[in-house]
Structure formats: C-alpha cells, structure tokens
Amino acid sequence: MQKYLIKNTQIVNEGTVYSADMLISGGRIEKINSQISATNGVIEINGEGKYLLPGVIDDQVHFREPGLTHKASIFTESRAAVAGGVTSFMEMPNTQPPVFTQELLENKYEIGAASSLANYSFFMGTSNDNLEEVLKTNDKKDRVCGVKIFMGSSTGGLLVDNPLSLEHIFEASELLIATHCEDERIIHKNLEAAKASGRTLTAADHPIIRNEEACFESSFYAVQLAKKFNSRLHILHISTERELQLFGNMLPLDQKRITTEVCVHHLHFTSEDYGRLGNLIKCNPAIKAPNNRTALWKALLDDRLDIIATDHAPHTWDEKQEDYLHAHAGLPLVQHSLPLMLKYVNEGAIKLEKVVEKMSHAPATCFQIRNRGFIREGYFADLVLVDMNLAQTVSKENIYYKCGWSPMEGMELPASVTHTFVNGHLVYGNGQLDESQKGARLEFDR
C-alpha cells in the first residue's frame, strides 16, 4: 500500500488546531510530528494553508440498493460521499426488499464490500412482526451499527406502530436503536384536514401536515420507552424546537443513553424556502418554520444535539416533479454536507473544531466505532484535507449523485475538499477519483 506524507498542515482534532506533519502507512496513521522527513517511496502532499480533518462519519444515509438502483447505488453514492469528505456511512434498511432478515442484511454487506469506496455499515430493519430476526443481531454487536425503527411513515412495511412490538424491541435489543420519530395518527389527521379544504396542496403544506406535534409526540414516546428499558436510543433528524426539551447536555457523550442527530438541511433550509424550491426540499421529517432552525443551531452548539448527518435520500428528477402528494420525500446531500458546514464556519456561526466534533468524533463515540473518527497514531487513516479559501459552486457538472441534481445547485460554497483518504488510500484528490480500492466494514467496540 502506498505511503503518504502530508506536510505543513493544520490538524483539527479533539478541540484543538495545531501545525504538524503526518505519515500514513499501511492504511493507518503511523506518525504525527512537527517535522517528518520524506523517505524513498513516500508520496508527499503539501498541506500548507489547508486543514486536515478526520473523515466525516455519516450515520444516516439511503443509498437505495438493492431494489431502487434507478435512484442510486452504493457505488454511485459512495463516490459522492468521498468527494465531499465522508469516509464512512451507515445506511438504512428501507430498500427493496426491506432488510427484515439476517440474510438480507448480509447481502447488503456483500454489496458494500464489492462496490463501496467509503467504509460502510448497515442497519437492521424492524417491522411489527420480525422480532426474532432483529434479536439475532445481538450476536453481531461488533459488526452491525444498530437497529432502525421507523416510528412514522415509511415504505416497504417498515412502519412499526404496534406498542407491543416496540416494547419488545426496546426491551430486548442489545444494539443501539435508531428511530425515525413522527406520529402517524397525527400526520393522517392533519392530511385529511388539509385535503378537506378543497384547495390544491403544495410543498408549503408539508410542515403543516407533518408538524411539530407529530415529531414531539413520537420522540417523547421513544424517550419513554428507552427510559423504561434502559435502552440505547439514538433519535435521528431532530427538526423541531419543541423536541429539544427532551434532551440534556449534562453528561459526557460516552455516558449518554439517549443521543440525538440533526441533519444539515434542517440547519440550512426553513419553510420560507418552499416557495423557491418546492418539492425539491420535501423530506420527512419536514423542514419547518424559521424558529425551529434557530433553536436547532442553539442546541447543536450547547450539545443537546450530538451528531450532524445528512439523511441523504436521492430520488430521480421526475419523481420530484410530481404533484405534492405523490412527489417522493428526501434530499441528496452527502457530497455537500461538509462543505456546507464549512460555509457556516467561514461565516462565524460555528467553529471548525465543533464541526469536526459533531461530524467525526461524535458518531465514532456514539456508535463505539473501532479506531476511526479521530486523528490518532495507530488509527485508520480516514482523513480529509480542506481548503477554506477554495470556493466552489454546486452545479450539475460537478454533482456525483446518480440522480444528477441537488437542492443547493447554484450555491457558492467558500471551502472545498481537496483530498480524501479512506484506510490510507487516496480515493479523491484534486477532483480525481481513484476507485482501485474499496472501503471496509466498520467494526464496533461493544
């Protein structure tokens, strides 16, 4: 395996920024020092004026394989991921067929091993009647990221709304339980009321139908279940101000039993953007009124929100052009999540160290990922070199998503990823992809 020496860079890690050189060898970080001399056979990369970050770990993506590969595949979306500085991802079970059995789960790992340019893990899916299969995942605690419960609308029968099924999963699962929290009864009531108005519904109705109450009631229920059974709960894509009252920041992250995630689109867009973007920003849970975004930012900075992720969910352009009720919900984001957060760093909304904490360190800590998420000697060399002054404009010409579009098209982002290493392999460098090596299955210290 090729050795690399990154010279004169600014390393951002564990709350500090410092100048150093780094030697990468055998897929790992071999040495970090103020001065390291190059030897024969080592490729030197000039990191002067750039920042070296641990690779982003995205704990929630939908790469659509198997069964929905007209939208995306593990190969295409992992290409987009590494181009954006995401070196590891955890992918959701709502594919076709849904991941309801151990056999189907392992099939996805086989696809990942054969085609993913980034490191990968896959959630076990839950239904109202597959408890026996779910609990077999307890024997794979060190090899599977977690169990996913859709406590709100989904596809392929993944909605779990039977209280007994939920209690059994929360009581018996030994893995982290990740939840999509929206109350289906409230959503249905709101939808019927909107239809009864007789007017044509548009994307602007989405946050009214899938409102704050639907999110809060479901998240409150999940928290109650987790406290009752002392489960390890991770609530995904928090989107409302009201939900934030459920979470605290008094404990260190590694001691929390209930943790949270916020997604970049809920930090960036508000309901005011529906008039401009319409169904392009239709997603579940919905992008809501501006007060929610303000509250999410405050909670992110004071550590009530633990992880920044994407919920990357690509659909074809045609699927997004249907009328509101039939347009598919989800946004493609994994290529642009880190550059978008770097935009907010440049604007002074958040420190670079905090972005690294929420996008790299925290996922590694929450999921207990082995030897990743930090810049430490002996850890896997999952690394991202960024130029905070190299602007880019999001356009169809530089989008790697298979769907070929982004809700951020036309936006200028002031910073760019210049190099991405996955397990010491330079998979992306100065706009060029090297697809000769694949990522690895994530392992967990549980």
Question: Encoding tokens for residue 101?
Answer: 């059995």
Cα distances (Å, whole numbers) of residue 237 to 127, 260, 306: 20, 8, 11
Q: Is the separation of the CB atoms in 280 and 333 below 8 Å?
A: no
CA 132 – CA 112 distance, rounded (Å): 25
On the CB side of 113, CA atoms within 13 Å amount to 7
CA 222 – CA 1 distance, rounded (Å): 46
Q: Give the model confidence (pLDDT) of 348-400 as tens digits.
A: 999 999 999 999 999 999 999 999 999 999 999 999 999 999 999 999 999 99
Which residues is 31 bridged to in the sheet?
23
CA 279 – CA 339 distance, rounded (Å): 23
Region 186-214: mean pLDDT is: 97
Region 247-274: mean pLDDT is: 97
CA 131 – CA 168 distance, rounded (Å): 8
Region 1-7: mean pLDDT is: 96
Domain over 56-367 is classified CATH 3.40.50.300? no
Q: Give the model confidence (pLDDT) of 418-442 as tens digits.
A: 999 999 999 999 899 999 999 999 9
Q: pLDDT confidence of 158, banded at 50, 70, 90?
A: confident
DSSP-derived pairing of the beta strands 28-33 and 16-25:
antiparallel
Q: Is the pLDDT of residue 156 over 60?
A: no
**Three-class SS of residue 352?**
helix
CA 307 – CA 323 distance, rounded (Å): 33
Write the single-letter amino acid at 172: A
7 alpha carbon, distance to own chain's centre: 30
Minimum mean pLDDT range among 145-159, 177-191, 401-415: 145-159
Region 74-92: mean pLDDT is: 98
Q: Is the separation of the CB atoms in 413 and 343 below 8 Å?
A: yes
Q: Give the model confidence (pLDDT) of 225-256 as tens digits.
A: 999 999 999 999 999 999 999 999 999 999 99
Q: Is the pLDDT of residue 63 over 70?
A: yes
Question: Encoding tokens for residue 308?
Answer: 């920044």
Q: Is the pLDDT of residue 155 over 70?
A: no
At 153 the pLDDT is: 56
CA 69 – CA 63 distance, rounded (Å): 8
Comparing CA positions, the residue from 220, 234, 67, 79 lying closest to residue 146 is 234
Q: Is the pLDDT of residue 94 over 70?
A: yes
Q: Is the pLDDT of residue 216 over 80?
A: yes
**Average pLDDT along the chain:** 97
At 38 the pLDDT is: 85
Total H helices, total E strands in the chain: 14, 20
Domain residue extents for the chain: 56-367
CA 155 – CA 385 distance, rounded (Å): 38
Q: CA triplet 96, 62, 384: central angle to 5 degrees?
A: 145
Q: Is the pLDDT of residue 18 over 60?
A: yes
